[in-house]
Amino acid sequence: MLLTGAQILIECLKEQNVDTIFGFPGGAVLNIYDELYKSSKEIRHILTSHEQGASHAADGYARSTGKVGVVIATSGPGATNLVTGIATAYMDSVPMVAITGNVPVSLLGRDSFQEVDTAGITMPITKHNYIVKDVKDLADTIREAFYIAQEGRPGPVLIDIPKDITINKTEYIKAEPKVVDRSLDEIDSTSLDVAIELIKASKKPFIYAGGGVILSEAADNLLKFAETIQAPVTCSLMGQGGFPGEHPLYTGMVGMHGSKASNIGITHCDLLVVIGARFSDRVIGKADSFAKRAKVLHIDIDPAEVNKNIKTYHHIIGDIKGALEKINNSLEPMDREEWITEVTELKQKYPLKYKDTCLTAQYVLEKLYEVTNGEAIITTEVGQHQMWAAQFYKYNHPRTFLSSGGLGTMGYGFGACIGAQVANPDKVVVNIAGDGSFRMNLNEIATAVRYNLPLIVLVMNNHVLGMVRQWQNLFYEERYSYTTLDRDIDYVKLAEAFGAVGYNLTEKEEVEEVLKKAIEEKRPVIINCEIDKDDKVWPMVAPGAPIDNIMVGE
């Protein structure tokens, strides 16, 4: 069948079972958009307000479903506007395919109108990228891109397509998607045996789980593993939802803003089983003090992460789900009552606390958990509100907490919220924002309204850049350099101007009623929550300090 490059692209997307694309049209992708128009019954296109919003939406779609997120943008500024979203996905191992247009092949490298070296720009922040210079290579390139995005440690792949490639014709032959092989052949049986003996010999094992547990669909396997060996479990920010937040063995988040029970437990354990985590500096603090009494057993699919930040005693390289299945099949239930009692007492002695005399973000999040029965999908921007969302909303299922962990992208949450709501139309989807982060991409209110998405944005409005101010307060002698926003934006009027619904929250007594109303609206809702500018995220470990050296604040 003789087809144009644009037609081949659409057919290949159908091969990959793509049902949704996020994007923004432009001259270099006009032929692609023309074919999208003809295929609108099979592939839904969500037009965002900005390409960055589209990239974050594709990311949120991917994180909440496990499918590949797809985003499309035109050449030049369209492509460069995707860069932050691609980098966000890369840092957090999110499967995404970004499709960009470019000038015709004959004009490449000539500083043509809206030409940039998209492949060169994105090389450090993609698993792989392509520039297609022959239409005969297009179909195979697209198929390979989707495979690479999903296999091993997932991540974003970019395909740059010059405009003439979308016009040129070649023979198209339909193909089935290549199956992503989760084979365990590469896992050495001796490595498994050593790990099992370490687990059996341990008296005080502790499990530190990261985002890899969610990416490998291994949450059930982790639960069985923890219950079998009777070990407490802590999760990184990216691991939230990988282990049930209400489970008795769960100790809360680990690291800079982790619970004291988690940080002290890791410091006191004799075996630290690290599953699908990369030992971020925000987790380990002072590296030579991290888990200093423990043997470290690391299970991860990416060999580059082993011994990168923390020296391991033993490691297993391979798919986490398969590795845990094999380990679980070789273990009998264990009794570690004394150790579990010790950690449980830490949880009881050092609970998360906050002031209860006025409206706080922590109180709003606890009420949100009650009102939604813990079943909402939560997205976040980046800052204090992000940490509070990780601490005070309990995540009992994977793919229900979507946040920019590695890159720390302010403005991520609203786009991700749109993507997650599009992918999960029957779910309550809530974006937890700060007023600083929210303003970065609030133009996407227009997108939410256009598609009548019943999402909710909770703006924790302290009129400052809260997390930066917290550091200025603690480490810079209260020199608040350019972190005080002091802009009296009427968020209710702002929401209404876009066609959304707006609410103001100033009192604790209003919270439950407003949240219930927002859910019942079944359309975009912006809730402005007025909180104190000096509320802080506690506990906190100073950067570079040992993680058991914990500040608890007021």
Active site residues: 51, 113-114, 163, 467
Tokens 């109303």: give the residue: 517
Beta carbons within 10 angstroms of residue 15's beta carbon: 16
Beta carbons within 10 angstroms of residue 443's beta carbon: 15
Q: Is 17 helix (H, G, I), strand (E, B) or coil?
A: coil
Cα 137 to chain centroid, rounded: 32
Contact (CB, 8 A) for 251 and 233? yes
Contact (CB, 8 A) for 74 and 100? yes
Count, in order, helices (H) and strands (E) of the chain. Answer: 23, 20
Q: Is 187 helix (H, G, I), strand (E, B) or coil?
A: coil
* Bridge partners for 315 per DSSP: 298
Maximal CA-CA distance, the chain:
72
Helix H or strand E encompassing 369: helix 361-372
Contact (CB, 8 A) for 399 and 64? yes
Q: Could you say which DSSP state residue 242 is in? A: S
Q: Which two tokens stand for residue 38?
A: 């003809």
Helix H or strand E encompassing 378: strand 377-380
Q: Regarding beta strands 456-461 and 401-402, do their DSSP bridges make them parallel or antiparallel, or are they unpaired?
A: unpaired
| 429/424 Cα distance (integer angstroms) | 8
Q: Kindly write down the DSSP assignment for every residue of 192-237, as one continuous string.
A: HHHHHHHHHH-SSEEEEE-HHHHHTT-HHHHHHHHHHHT--EEE-S
Angular region, 255: left φ>0, alpha ψ -120 to 50, beta rest: left
Q: Which two tokens stand for residue 123?
A: 């090389």
Contact (CB, 8 A) for 145 and 128? yes
| 240/232 Cα distance (integer angstroms) | 15
| 285/292 Cα distance (integer angstroms) | 12
Q: Could you say which DSSP state residue 177 is in? A: P
Contact (CB, 8 A) for 453 and 422? yes
Half-sphere exposure of 354 (CA within 13 A, CB side): 20
Helix H or strand E encompassing 528: strand 525-530
Q: Give the orientation angle of helix 361-372 with respect to helix 384-392, to 10 degrees.
A: 40
Q: Could you say which DSSP state residue 68 is in? A: P
